[in-house]
Structures are given as C-alpha cells and as structure tokens.
C-alpha cells in the first residue's frame, strides 16, 4: 500500500486537490466503485468503457485515475504522452491476478485456431496477447460482429463469458477467473431480500455468478445499471454490484430507494471492492502533489496492447455506456 505522510492532518484536502488540479492541468477520472468523496470531486465518473474513452480524448497533461491499476494502465496505453497517476499502486483486481500472462500465452498457443476476446480487467501483458478487448458495456456489440464460425477464447472472467455464451448460444473457451466481489453475493440472502420487496426489480452486473444473474430483471455494466435505475417505473431497486455505485443512483434519483444485494452474512460489506477502496482523498492529494505513483509501460508492450484496445474502441463505436447486455 502507498505510504501517506503523517503531516496531512491540518490540510483542507478538497481545496488542495482543486489547487493542484488547476496547477497540473490534471483531469480526475473515477470509477463508480470509488468512495463517494472521490466520485464527488472527479471531473468524470463512469464505467470502464466510458473511462477508456475519456482517457483517450482528454487534453489534460495529467490523468489522476481513481480506479484500479488495469484502468490506469489502459489510460496510459491510450494516452502515452500524459502523466497517469494512480493514488494507490496496490489497487489491483482479482480477475487480473487470475490470469498470469505466461499461462495465458500457453493457453493461446494450445488453441491456435481461436481468437482471444478478453475482458478489460486484465494486465497490459494479457491485453498484448489478446485480439480484441471488451468491457461489460461493449461485450455484446463486439461479440455480435465476430463471425459465427470463429472459435473464441474468453478470459479472464468466466461469469461474464458464461453469461454471453448462454445469451448468444455461442460456445467459448472460458478462462477460469472470477471477481471476488461479485462472487460474494448470496442467492439465499438475495431471495430473502426479494421476499421483503416483491415489487423491486433486481439489477445485476454480469460478473455475478449464474445463481445471482438468473434472478435479475436487468443485467448490465455499471452505467447500464444506473440507466436502468433512471428508466424503471418503480421506486425501489435491488442492486447486485459493488455498492458504491448507489451513491450515483441516490444523487440522480433522490426519491428512489436502492438496496445493495447481500453477501452470505446478510450484510453487503463483503461486496465492497477491497482494491477500489485503497484510493483515498489523502492518496489522491499526494499523487497530484508528487505526480507519483505513476504508471510507466514499456513502449513495445504498450503498442502491442494498444492494438486490442483500439479494436474495442472501433468495434464499440456507437455504444453509449448503456450496458448493452440489456435484459436477460
Ligand atoms: P464496468 O464499470 O465496465 O461495468 O466494470 C465493472 C468492474 O468490475 C470494474 O472493475
Ligand atoms: Fe476487480 Fe471485481 Fe474489484 Fe472490479 S470489483 S476491480 S472486477 S475485484
């Protein structure tokens, strides 16, 4: 974990971050799973596809990425001339950890007639070994552009891959990775909650296992779930994804009620992403002040990884972070 100097106590962190944002010509990007105070001061809050697009488009000199490492690396791959800082360099992802590049390379080599369609939640090395990157917003649009007879490896999220495979009746070789956060939802507790709120629909992220997704009225990316909340007729929604997204829902829809789906102990704290939670106001301030910790990527590796990301951005054009996975 990034060390924080002890002498920050008397500082008005919000004001200091504002000052540094201007001085550095920095843009602050935040994912929906970030702490509310980070979402509130970000220039832009979004899902993985929207954040990638913002990182590619911005004319800022510095990108301060409030998210996890693969997201900040994506920003650096797409905007190499910019300084990209991540408040805590330990902010990883269980999906990335599940897919070491050497094992993925061996798996690919064992299936030379397959293309690799890879979820953005992976290392830069795995992106460089892949043909096309997808996010949960863009996966469906992109999969539908791949000829039906083309064999596909899908990694590293077996639940997103399995969901797409079932929905499109399309066989894919699935890498066995999971998101520890979405894996923690309990079907028993979800059904108890549903019994208490029978009229409330359930919206789930496709990183959830089938025993959760199968109960969902809507399945989609974080921005897809947010848009579903805005469009739904009812007043109450059960949300099966990382609960920090509820902050944006409450800001946009103060009169509606959002209930986080529970984990096995009936309490949804186990569904807070421990990696996303590493970023704090203090660490963001230090990152803007020192321009560290900074993302650096070997240039050849960056160019190799950029090919699969560029294909995603091309193939997903027209996809408006709306969670194209849509209704089950
Ligand atoms: P999206 O925001 O693209 O839905 O991704 C969710 C996620 O797991 C980020 O780590
Ligand atoms: Fe990774 Fe899951 Fe955390 Fe997203 S929520 S960063 S997929 S561990």
Residue 143: which residues within 8 A CB-CB, separation 6 or more? 117, 134, 164, 168, 170
Distance CA 295, CA 101 (A): 19
Closest CA to 119 of 86, 153, 89: 153
pLDDT over 70 percentage in the chain: 94
Which range among 90-99, 160-169, 312-321 shows the weakest confidence by mean pLDDT? 312-321
Tell me the Ramachandran region of residue 291: left when phi exceeds 0, alpha when psi lies from -120 to 50, beta otherwise: left
Q: Is the pLDDT of residue 190 over 90?
A: yes
Mean pLDDT value of segment 34-46 = 97
Q: Is the pLDDT of residue 160 over 90?
A: yes
* Inter-residue contact 172 to 161 (CB < 8 Å): yes
φ, ψ at 321 (rounded to 5°): 15, 45
Mean pLDDT value of segment 218-245 = 97
Q: Is the pLDDT of residue 207 over 90?
A: yes
Atom of ligand 1 nearest to the CA of 47: 2
Residue 181: which residues within 8 A CB-CB, separation 6 or more? 94, 207, 242, 271, 272, 273
Question: Cβ < 6 Å from ligand 2: which residues?
Answer: 33, 68, 93-95, 121, 179-181, 207, 242, 273, 275-276
What integer pLDDT is reported at residue 325 of this predicted model?
Answer: 39
* Inter-residue contact 78 to 309 (CB < 8 Å): yes
* Inter-residue contact 104 to 96 (CB < 8 Å): no
- pTM for the whole thing? 0.94
Place of tokens 């190799």: 304
Q: Is the pLDDT of residue 120 over 80?
A: yes
Q: Is the pLDDT of residue 321 over 60?
A: no
Average pLDDT, the chain: 94
Distance CA 138, CA 316 (A): 6
Q: Is the pLDDT of residue 326 over 80?
A: no
Mean pLDDT value of segment 260-270 = 79
For every residue of 42-100, DSSP letters joined together read -SEEE-HHHHHHHHHH---SEEEEES-HHHHHHHHHH-TTSEEE-S-TT---HHHHT--
b/e sequence 293-308, b meaning 16+ C-beta within 10 Å: bebebeeeebebbbeb
Mean pLDDT value of segment 211-230 = 97
Q: State in Å, rounded, how far the first CA of the chain is from the last one.
A: 39
Report the binding-site residues for iminosuccinate.
Answer: 31, 48, 119-121, 136, 205-207, 222
**Which strand (E) or helix (H) includes residue 110?**
helix 101-110
* Inter-residue contact 212 to 179 (CB < 8 Å): no
Question: Cβ < 6 Å from ligand 1: which residues?
Answer: 47-48, 121, 135-137, 179, 207, 221-222
Which range among 28-32, 169-173, 260-264 shows the weakest confidence by mean pLDDT? 260-264
Which range among 6-20, 102-116, 216-230 shows the weakest confidence by mean pLDDT? 6-20
Residue predicted with more confidence, 1 or 141: 141
Distance CA 189, CA 42 (A): 34
Across 142-253, where does the E strand assignment appear? 151-155, 173-174, 202-204, 218-219, 236-240
Place of tokens 């001339």: 81
Atom of ligand 1 nearest to the CA of 179: 8
Domains and CATH numbers, the chain: 6-91+276-291 (3.40.50.10800), 95-179+302-322 (3.40.50.10800), 182-271 (3.40.50.10800)
What integer pLDDT is reported at residue 319 of this predicted model?
Answer: 64
DSSP class of 203: E
107-113: Cβ within 8 A, 24+ apart: 107/153, 107/155, 107/175, 108/153, 111/151, 111/153, 111/173, 113/151
Atom of ligand 1 nearest to the CA of 222: 4
Q: What is the pLDDT of residues 283-315, one digit of tens each?
A: 999 999 999 999 999 999 999 999 999 999 999
Q: Is the pLDDT of residue 320 over 80?
A: no
What integer pLDDT is reported at residue 317 of this predicted model?
Answer: 85
Q: Please state the separation of Cα 257 from the chain's center in Å.
A: 24
Q: Is the pLDDT of residue 328 over 90?
A: no
Q: Where are the alpha helices (DSSP H) in 209-294?
A: 210-213, 222-231, 246-252, 281-290
């Amino acid at each position: 974990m990034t060390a924080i100097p002890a002498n920050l106590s008397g500082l008005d962190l919000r004001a200091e971050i504002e000052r540094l944002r201007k001085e550095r010509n920095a843009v602050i990007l935040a994912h929906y799973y970030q702490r509310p105070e980070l979402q509130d001061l970000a220039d832009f809050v979004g899902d993985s596809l929207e954040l990638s697009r913002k990182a590619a488009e911005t004319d800022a000199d510095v990108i301060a990425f409030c998210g996890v490492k693969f997201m900040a690396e994506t920003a650096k791959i797409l905007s190499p001339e910019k300084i990209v800082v991540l408040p805590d360099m330990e902010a990883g992802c269980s999906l990335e950890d599940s897919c070491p590049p050497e094992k993925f390379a061996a798996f690919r080599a064992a299936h030379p007639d397959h293309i690799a369609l890879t979820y953005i939640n992976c290392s830069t090395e795995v992106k460089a070994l892949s043909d096309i990157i997808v996010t949960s917003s863009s996966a469906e649009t992109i999969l539908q552009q791949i000829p039906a007879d083309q064999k596909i490896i899908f990694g590293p999220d077996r639940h997103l891959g399995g969901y797409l495979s079932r929905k499109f009746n399309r066989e894919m070789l699935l890498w066995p990775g999971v998101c520890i956060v979405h894996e923690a939802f309990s079907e028993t507790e979800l059904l108890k909650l549903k019994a208490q709120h029978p009229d409330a629909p359930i919206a789930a992220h496709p990183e959830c296992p089938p025993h959760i997704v199968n109960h969902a009225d809507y399945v989609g990316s974080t921005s897809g779930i947010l848009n579903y909340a805005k469009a739904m007729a009812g007043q109450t929604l059960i949300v099966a994804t990382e609960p920090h997204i509820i902050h944006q829902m409450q800001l946009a829809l103060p009169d509606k009620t959002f209930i986080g789906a529970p984990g096995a102990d009936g309490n949804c704290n186990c569904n807070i992403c421990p990696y996303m939670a590493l970023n704090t106001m203090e660490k963001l301030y230090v990152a803007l002040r020192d321009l560290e910790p900074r993302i650096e990527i070997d240039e050849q590796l960056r160019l190799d990884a950029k090919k699969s990301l560029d294909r995603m951005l091309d193939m997903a054009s027209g996809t408006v972070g709306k969670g194209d996975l849509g209704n089950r």
